[in-house]
Chain A
């Protein structure tokens, strides 16, 4: 009960802080509109260009040859630049060097499996960094497999004349890629939401600074409630404040700007909640580690734009090669953004879970740091 009291009044106080509230709500809404409109051209499918892939055929029988032919269709070559490799390792090496996006691999026994009605798959191997390109590639392969299976099934039951119809397949393909690429509005809807949640660390910072070190803190510490009740209450209150703000931004951008948040909003809210926890913990930790409150605020205001930039939050960064590509993972924004993008656009739920779990890990880390540092300072 005491904790609920603290949670409730923490939220009330946060929401009465009009200036911060305005900033938290108005800033992303404006930024999404401005960036989403101004940088629109960067996102039209025309600029996607071709993606480089490697092709390895370990099967060599007729079914795999038919895929090879498919890759050489003119329409496909507009989307994929294919180079043939001789071994799996060679393909992986190319991925690691950033020369290609993916390796398309037809494993041994592909044709045989197909003939026997067993599972026959074409592997799409990519690096851990999943981008839009990999989505496109997967879609192309998928469209072939779906189509090819029909052809194959037909052939097996003896239907003639069911040849591969490139026209048909490509139309399908184009539709699916378009649906799977965020428009600039969609893109900034996500990056700006993540950015503002990161700025939300300020709520964590102020809540804790005031109650733990400020004058009110002395009063609170002299009441019979324990420090951890206060800490939990404060944290939950701040998290819920941020979470509500995130919900409002999601709904606003969804219905006013038409931002694509996917078809399962519960999952989106789950990610929002995760991020709210992380930024609250981040703010609290900074507060405990900083010599003064002002210092901690400055750190947040300095570090969030850097994180956002690194994550491509203001503008998608061009392909920067291996080192900088990895450096993006230093930005919590990037991880947050990846959680959203992987869920909405890549249908890669397991990746999303991975990013979300990673953020929970980080949250835990910040909170543990905060608590242990806080203990030391209190003594």
Chain B
């Protein structure tokens, strides 16, 4: 196990940001930490890095703890913070020089690693450019480059794809897979289901600081394969719609998002006509209907009654 966290508790005043979280991350994994805004993902990561003091619990990284092996642990971790952590007054190359030296790289090796990291993130051509002239995606990539040039065993990425175009996002996801193939263990934090679903093996879902589900992707999906999910697009909605539908036989959960109604029912409840009847009674037209396969989004919805982006 490359990371072991046991009964971790972190409070901000009376706010329990991390509530008794335990998790283990096997070496070589791409580990997904999934949760909505404010779930406690960043707090959890910060406690792992010693940036935030924890209140209770224990963290072991590479089998050691911070008290005895802080330097060794830090030397082998690369962090991609959620907020860009690069200097705008230094060129891409100089940023890497600066952070590389903080990790003890120097001379020819430093140059080599800088080139490697910049080429890896597709920024080599832009190495002499100041980040303020970069696009959002390029900044994100530089943010990653700064975290990998010392070839860390463990790379922690806190929502590395926030606010960028799909093309850059795919590029980043691809590079994460490559880093993993090259031997790094990755902790990947996100509130985008699709991303986590695409690249992660083991996944922990947290909400309000608590672990609500843990397991491999397939294990998590099996949690909800006992259910049917229907998405219904409507022309209009009304307040009592959700209530009405929840009363239909076999319906476990029902959420309205814009004009889309998601209904989760017990497997083979055979209640579709009942649902449609309620909608008809309210004089709402149905525009379309999808029957969905289980997704992590569905897992979250089932477990919390909310969608991830609530």
Contacts and interface: CB of A to CB of B under 8 A. Distances in A.
Contact of B85 (A9, A17, A218, A224): A218
The 4 closest A-B pairs by CB, nearest first: A219-B85, A215-B83, A223-B102, A5-B101
A216 interface: yes
A224 B75 contact: yes
Contacts of B84: 215
A224 B101 contact: no
B86 A216 contact: yes
Contact of B87 (A1, A5, A13): A13
Given A9-B94, A379-B53, A223 B103 contact: yes
Contacts of B71: 224
Interface string A200-240: 00000000000000011011111111000000000000000
Contacts of B106: 1
A2 B101 contact: yes
Nearest to B98: A9
A126 to B, nearest CB: 50
A38 interface: no
A221 B104 CA distance: 14
B193 interface: no
B89 A222 contact: no
A376 interface: no
Nearest to A219: B85
A220 B98 CA distance: 10
A348 interface: no
A290 to B, nearest CB: 21
B90 interface: yes
21 contacts: A1-B106, A2-B101, A2-B102, A5-B102, A9-B97, A12-B90, A12-B94, A216-B85, A216-B86, A218-B85, A219-B79, A219-B81, A219-B99, A220-B102, A221-B49, A221-B50, A221-B51, A222-B50, A223-B102, A224-B71, A225-B102
A160 interface: no
A118 interface: no
A218 B51 contact: yes
Contacts of B175: none
B146 interface: yes
A9 B102 CA distance: 12
A322 interface: no
Contacts of A224: 70-71, 74-75, 102-104
B86 A222 contact: no
Contacts of A223: 74, 99, 102-103
A218 B77 CA distance: 13
Interface string A6-49: 00010011001100000000000000000000000000000000
B292 to A, nearest CB: 38
A315 to B, nearest CB: 37
A222 B86 CA distance: 14
A9 B90 contact: yes
B46 interface: yes
Interface in B45-82: 46, 49-51, 53, 70-71, 74-75, 77, 79, 81
Contacts of B51: 218, 221-222
Contacts of A379: 53
